[in-house]
Structure 1
Amino acid sequence: MQQTDLNLTSSNKTNKSGLFSINKKLAPAKPTEVYNTYWRFAAKRQRLFFKKISKKYPPWTDDPILNKYKFTNAYRASDRVSQYLIKNVIYSDSYSLNDLFFRIILFKIFNKIETWELLKSELGEINYNTFEFDAYDRILTEAQASGQAIYSAAYIMASGKSAFGYSKKHRNHLTLVAKMMQDKLPERIASSETMQEAFILLKSYPSIGDFLAYQYVTDINYSNITSFSEKEFVVPGPGAIDGIHKCFSDLGGISEIEIIKMMYDNQDREFERLGLNYKSLWGRPLMLIDCQNLFCEVDKYARVAHPNIKGKSDRKRIKQKYSPTKDKFKYWYPPHWEINGKVEDFYNEIQ
């Protein structure tokens, strides 16, 4: 397995979470050739993103793997479902704390735009103060009976049957949301001092494990419910762990969490080292959630680009082929990121 000589360091100081008590040179991890592919993939995926929204005609890349298979964006918030959540669920109007939390969690449990649109078409504006279990259940049950998928395939949601007793998955999840609201979870999340504290609260509920709790707290942090630093906390999912172990043949005593933090800390240096003209998200660097997601995508990419290098799961195929969507929308991000003015300038320039 080809190795890459690197001197990887992290300068992060101890924080409240205790997860990154790093203020020293890290033990030597041993990168493989996939490590360099990680950075090249990020740069290529961003170039593809900008070419696509610049109204250029496909193909948007000369990479045959990117042309053939579906990969998420380098920045999680640029993906179609995240954009819909930000613009249509979180910031479409002004909501109370309870209503906003309810909307975010309800949307994310199904994580499917079509399910949200179905509920909205039947019920009108979706708010907690008008929530009725039977009404939601009827709509979702009828949709399933007609053959409609109500859950996204992106996340695997545990059924919750052992906790709530329903044979139909969505009934357990509606009960889960109701329990969160009854427990005053929105207030408890809003008063949390760290992302990890909010993560632990979410994880304490049935059918929500580490991966989902981290995804949910990230989505909540797009809103004004919380204002957590995006540099303080990360949880690697199964796909990211696979990607990490393809990028490194030996972690050298470093945890997967520390590896992700190391990627965040070293991104500018690594793009420069490889001579990559990386185009960030209008000045926004890759955050921990993005570095984590990139490991997941590079795990998939390496199945074709580096079939000789195995991760933890040893999966060999990329299941989803790329097919252009019909969605044509303007990108827009959480206002507290302070990049929407630059985004608007970009659109004005390409008109």
Structure 2
Amino acid sequence: MSCASKEFGYNKKHQNHLALIDKMMVKDNVITRIVKVKSLEEVFNIIQQYPLLGKFMAYQLAIDINYSEIINFDENSFTIAGPGAERGISKCFLDTGGKTYTYIIHWMTENQEQEFQRLGLNFQSLWGRPLQAIDCQNLFCETDKYCREAFPDLKSNRKKIKSKFTSNPQRIDYFYPPKWRINDKVKETLAPRLLQLEIRHLQQINNRNCQQLSLELDFLVKTTPEIPDNISK
């Protein structure tokens, strides 16, 4: 949640945010500094210098920029636990042995395969892409949210969910950062499954809605007891 202070002198929140964008992108041309840095942490440090952006928002923006083509740092080279992740870690571990939140996130990232095997979990990776530090950070945050409803006895400074899920019938067009090199793998995975089910507007399928299609296929397969012979390819 972005900060709502009147840092730039405006009464309305969005006006201060627009002023921040103007300062970063127009007046300071911050992108020229970002493309010259040598690490993801340096990107974070540049962004964190600006008002209205706390350390967690600065980290999220650094990761988003790193998803683009203008910089390309190891995603696991730097991470920060947000407030939700800190609460989630506290709910997952009885004793962290004095380790920092950052250490725990890195440990989870580095040891995920061994832990999946130890626990007998058939984890479905993202077409071969393992969990990154930002993913593990987010998982701890989501665990905290889930526990507020499922295990309310696990006390923390957040007790309720801010908003409930509302279904949206509109299609969301997903695609992955090209540098991950998995968009083609998504299409290859879906191709044989498309031969089994009749999908409307098949000609409109492209890289940008493959994930949504995958979700729809999963639902159809689970809810269709028998696939009729007369379904066309």
TM-score between both structures, scaled by the size of structure 1: 0.53
TM-score between both structures, scaled by the size of structure 2: 0.78
- Superposed CA deviations along residues 167-190 of structure 1, whole A, max 9, x for unmatched, are 112221111111112212001011
Q: CA deviation at 1:332?
A: 1.5
Q: For 1:1-351, list aligned pairs within 5 A.
A: 156-161=1-6, 163-181=7-25, 182-311=27-156, 313=157, 315-329=158-172, 331-351=174-194
Q: CA deviation at 1:330?
A: 5.0
Q: CA deviation at 1:329?
A: 4.2
Higher relative contact order (CA 8 A, sep 6+): 1
Cα distance in 2, alignment partners of residues 175 and 321 from structure 1: 32
- Superposed CA deviations along residues 178-207 of structure 1, whole A, max 9, x for unmatched, are 111221200101111111101010010011
- CA change 1:160–1:176 in 2 (3 A) is farther
Find the residue that maps to 2:153 and give its secondary structure: coil
The answer for unaligned runs of 5 or more in structure 2 is 195-233
Q: CA deviation at 1:164?
A: 1.0
CA-based RMSD: 1.5
- CA change 1:318–1:346 in 2 (3 A) is same
Cα distance in 1, alignment partners of residues 154 and 130 from structure 2: 28
Find the residue that maps to 2:154 and give its secondary structure: coil
Letter in 2 for 1:180: M
Cα distance in 2, alignment partners of residues 271 and 207 from structure 1: 39
Cα distance in 1, alignment partners of residues 150 and 11 from structure 2: 42
Cα distance in 2, alignment partners of residues 268 and 212 from structure 1: 29
The answer for unaligned runs of 5 or more in structure 1 is 1-155
- Superposed CA deviations along residues 291-343 of structure 1, whole A, max 9, x for unmatched, are 000000001112233333234x2x33334333332232453211111111101
Aligned residue-pair number = 193
Cα distance in 2, alignment partners of residues 346 and 330 from structure 1: 18
Cα distance in 2, alignment partners of residues 324 and 342 from structure 1: 28
